[in-house]
Structure 1
Amino acid sequence: MMKGLVIGGMLAAAFAGLPAMSLAGDIASVQPIGFSADGKVFAFQEFGIEEGGNVPYSETYFIDTENGHYLEGTPFRTELTEKDANLSKARRQNLTAARSQMDKYDLLTNPGLIAAFNPPTELGSPAKTIRYTTLATDGPPKAPYTLSLGEMPVPTPKGCAAVDKRVIGFSLQMIEKEGAPNRQAARQATAVPAERSCSVEYRIGGAMVYQPEGGNPVHIALVLAFDASRNGRWIAVPVHP
């Protein structure tokens, strides 16, 4: 029923309108859509303008938060090449295609909490760790969590043979849990799926949290994957503390 490993799959300004940024390639923006009431499904939209070709694209991902797989029949992908194409049109068409799944899981009712955001435009911010709490309150941090990202070599896929840099995977560890030291291996990737298979660098870019009624909390780590041309695409990694 589920397919597509999402260890390799996501933010707009305050996750609502950050334009695609450019280093050498393009870095996609992401709009979280929400969770199912039981927290077992999470969805987000990734979008931007392809570097060089000026092609607007938008993709909507639906993730099973228990095993990290895509839901069957997803993601929904839109890429517009016609002369009058623009990003607004690509995003609208993409969301229209994904709407039935959004409604099926009632995702707009449960947006979750954007617990942390660490974009590459934020100068001086750490690239491999992120610390956050699960409650949006003033004052000293309460029961904080810290995620730590590591990188590791993986076998080079056939489609990446021409890449002149080392293709890598990543490991993700929760090193702080509710304010206490922790060594929980949240997720370790020894390979990445096709759309992220040529990644040469990763950055931990944010975290989301959702608390289902009567259930265990769900954390989503947001990892930014770069290819050799510095194109950046987001990965949503479910974490269960």
Structure 2
Amino acid sequence: MNKRLIIGGMLAVAFAGLPGMSLAGDIANIQPIGFSADGKVFGFQEFGIEESGNLPYSNTYFIDTEDGHYLEGTPFHTELTDKDANLSKARRQNLTAARSQMDKYDLLTNPGLIAAFNPPTELGSPSKTIRYTTLATDGPPKAPYTLSLGEMPVPTPKDCTAVDKRVIGFSLQMIEKEGAPNRQAARQATAVPAERVCSVEYRIGGAVVYQPEAGNQVHIALVLAFDADRNGRWIAVPVHP
């Protein structure tokens, strides 16, 4: 596959859908794989059962955290259509296909920290902001960060002309940095990657943090993109405070 830009831009939890909205689509589960030792590569897997055809699928993504691109030759997509297909089989086949990249960058050795998680099943949680610290300690929060997600119109791609809702992109801003107000534009989208080309809504779903032995912290914003049928898929957006 060609290298593609993640513009704009985890836990294995089953999502039922956003509260008060149609449950017609499926929302993918997400599982982090980890970082390379230098923090320059991040990998994650998403998986689930397609609502339309009841087909198990699994996708594994490897992201260059410096420029937001997919690594060359990735991602890896698996969708099973045989009659004895199941989610376990789809995930195993997908991870087998992706294993060479996982081993090349030693991602399982450096899982990073899931600093915040904001699933749509958590009632009352904000959908456009997330606040977290980078140390897993008890007690008062220390030097917190806040990410804010905005949505904006983009030109409708030709593949989305049949969609009866407005196709949008998103912007991401770090509005708090180590406890102080901040206005850093982390990433802005005027288009979306091929897998998310017809997205009509976004939710900020989590944050993962990794501290290399040498170098600055890497933050990954987990953004959930919805299409018009309420199918939810994930985008990992690198942020460098």
> CA offsets, 1:169-188, max 9 Å, x none?
00000000000000000000
Q: Is the 8 A contact 1:8 1:192 kept in 2?
A: yes
Q: Which has the higher strand share?
A: 1
Kindly state the Cα deviation for residue 50 of structure 1 after the two structures are TM-superposed. Answer: 0.2
Structure 1: distance between partners of 2:211 and 2:81: 40
> Bigger shift: 8-17 or 62-71?
8-17
Kindly state the Cα deviation for residue 87 of structure 1 after the two structures are TM-superposed. Answer: 0.1
Kindly state the Cα deviation for residue 10 of structure 1 after the two structures are TM-superposed. Answer: 6.8
1:237 alignment partner in structure 2: 237
- Give the secondary-structure state (helix, strand or coil) at the position aligned to 1:121: coil
Kindly state the Cα deviation for residue 17 of structure 1 after the two structures are TM-superposed. Answer: 16
Structure 2: distance between partners of 1:9 and 1:59: 17
Q: Is the 8 A contact 1:12 1:19 kept in 2?
A: no
Distance 1:95 1:130, change over 3 A: same
Kindly state the Cα deviation for residue 13 of structure 1 after the two structures are TM-superposed. Answer: 3.2
Structure 2: distance between partners of 1:54 and 1:9: 28
TM-score, structure 2 normalization: 0.95
Kindly state the Cα deviation for residue 208 of structure 1 after the two structures are TM-superposed. Answer: 0.2
| Structure 2 gap ranges (5+) | none
Kindly state the Cα deviation for residue 24 of structure 1 after the two structures are TM-superposed. Answer: 1.7
Q: Is the 8 A contact 2:15 2:119 kept in 1?
A: no
Structure 2: distance between partners of 1:223 and 1:141: 23
Kindly state the Cα deviation for residue 7 of structure 1 after the two structures are TM-superposed. Answer: 2.4
TM-score, structure 1 normalization: 0.95
Kindly state the Cα deviation for residue 193 of structure 1 after the two structures are TM-superposed. Answer: 1.2
> CA offsets, 1:110-150, max 9 Å, x none?
00000000000000000000000000000000000000000
Structure 2: distance between partners of 1:22 and 1:41: 35
The sequence identity of aligned pairs, in percent, is 91
> CA offsets, 1:73-101, max 9 Å, x none?
00011000000000000000000000011
Q: Is the 8 A contact 1:20 1:29 kept in 2?
A: no
Q: Is the 8 A contact 1:40 1:64 kept in 2?
A: yes
Distance 1:191 1:17, change over 3 A: closer
Structure 1: distance between partners of 2:214 and 2:137: 22
Distance 1:24 1:78, change over 3 A: same
- Give the secondary-structure state (helix, strand or coil) at the position aligned to 2:24: coil
Structure 2: distance between partners of 1:55 and 1:40: 33
> CA offsets, 1:173-207, max 9 Å, x none?
00000000000000000100111010000000000
Distance 1:20 1:135, change over 3 A: farther
Q: Is the 8 A contact 1:19 1:48 kept in 2?
A: no
Structure 1: distance between partners of 2:195 and 2:236: 13
Structure 1: distance between partners of 2:21 and 2:105: 31
Distance 1:19 1:111, change over 3 A: farther
Q: Is the 8 A contact 1:20 1:28 kept in 2?
A: no
Instruction: Give the alignment of 1:1-241 within 5 angstroms.
Output: 3-7=3-7, 11-13=11-13, 23-241=23-241
Root mean square deviation, CA, Å: 2.9
